[in-house]
């Protein structure tokens, strides 16, 4: 997958992404603050910020945030949502070329986007823009694949109807890969439970926010949505299902 593919593949999914993608659990910024000293005075570069979900988390914690995002529609959505906050700005940049000044930030935040980066190039860039001794935090919501009939059925649906689901899923790093990426600078890892309660419309939007979900007009789209309806009706309680995650985070320096 080339750079253009990875940065543009969400361009037609921005509305669904804004409305239906999950946020991050409050335990995550609390852990960064309490265990790693990430206080409100730290300047944050939120790299691969997308529509601003992770940027808002740091704004709410009192930080000044620069959202670095190469996809113009997603960046515009972030500005529309968060641009009224004087501590927020958005720039057109990439993980390997943020456009930020040397030693200008205290925390590099990467939420959900790390698997699209060139790891070595991103590490060099993060080291350049971080102040000495400051931190990078890499985290994502990892959807649970088993544990309930819904979760197992949803995974089977993606395997059957997703356009390139298997190849995208394989891009996510495991603990050993992340520890190796940080190297001697690795500090800690943690995992926090998280969930969304979704009715059928929200579940459909959550599915279509994924880059591997076939859009309307694709031969797999209608069968996929019918299968989703059947899965929802079989598993819903009081008109909703629980879409469950483990939010995983890795923290360290770029020394």
Q: What is the pLDDT of residues 100-122, one digit of tens each?
A: 999 999 999 999 889 889 999 99
Q: Please give the pLDDT value at position 43.
A: 98
Asked if pLDDT for residue 1 goes beyond 60, the answer is: no
Asked if pLDDT for residue 168 goes beyond 90, the answer is: no
Q: Please give the pLDDT value at position 229.
A: 98
Q: What is the pLDDT of residues 211-246, one digit of tens each?
A: 889 989 999 999 999 999 999 999 999 999 999 999
Asked if pLDDT for residue 173 goes beyond 80, the answer is: no
Mean pLDDT of the chain: 92
Determine the topology of domain 3-143+171-196+246-252 in CATH: Rossmann fold (3.40.50)
Q: How many CA atoms lie within 13 A of 173 on its CB side?
A: 24
Backbone angles phi, psi at 175, to 5 degrees: -60, -45
Q: Confidence class of residue 164 from pLDDT cuts 50, 70 and 90? A: confident
Q: What is the pLDDT of residues 123-148, one digit of tens each?
A: 999 999 999 999 999 999 999 999 99
- Whole-structure pTM value: 0.88
């Amino acid at each position: 997958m080339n750079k253009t593919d990875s940065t543009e593949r969400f361009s037609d999914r921005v509305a669904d992404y804004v409305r239906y993608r999950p946020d991050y659990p409050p335990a995550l910024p609390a852990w960064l603050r309490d265990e790693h000293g990430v206080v409100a005075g730290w300047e944050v570069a939120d790299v691969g910020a997308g529509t601003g979900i992770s940027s808002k988390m740091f704004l709410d914690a009192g930080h000044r945030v620069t959202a670095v995002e190469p996809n113009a529609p997603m960046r515009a959505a972030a500005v529309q949502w968060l641009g009224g906050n004087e501590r927020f700005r958005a720039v057109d940049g990439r993980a390997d070329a943020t456009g930020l000044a040397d030693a200008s930030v205290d925390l590099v935040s990467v939420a959900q986007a790390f698997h699209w980066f060139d790891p070595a190039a991103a590490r060099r860039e993060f080291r350049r823009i971080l102040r000495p001794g400051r931190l990078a935090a890499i985290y994502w919501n990892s959807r649970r694949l088993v544990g309930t009939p819904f979760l197992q059925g949803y995974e089977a649906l993606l395997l059957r109807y997703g356009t390139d689901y298997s190849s995208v899923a394989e891009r996510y790093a495991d603990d050993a890969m992340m520890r190796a990426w940080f190297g001697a600078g690795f500090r800690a890892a943690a995992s926090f439970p998280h969930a969304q309660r979704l009715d059928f419309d929200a579940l459909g939007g959550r599915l279509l926010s994924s880059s591997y979900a076939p859009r309307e007009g694709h031969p797999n789209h209608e069968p996929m949505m019918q299968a989703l309806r059947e899965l929802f009706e079989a598993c819903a309680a009081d008109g909703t299902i629980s879409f469950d995650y483990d939010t995983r985070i890795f923290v360290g320096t770029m020394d």
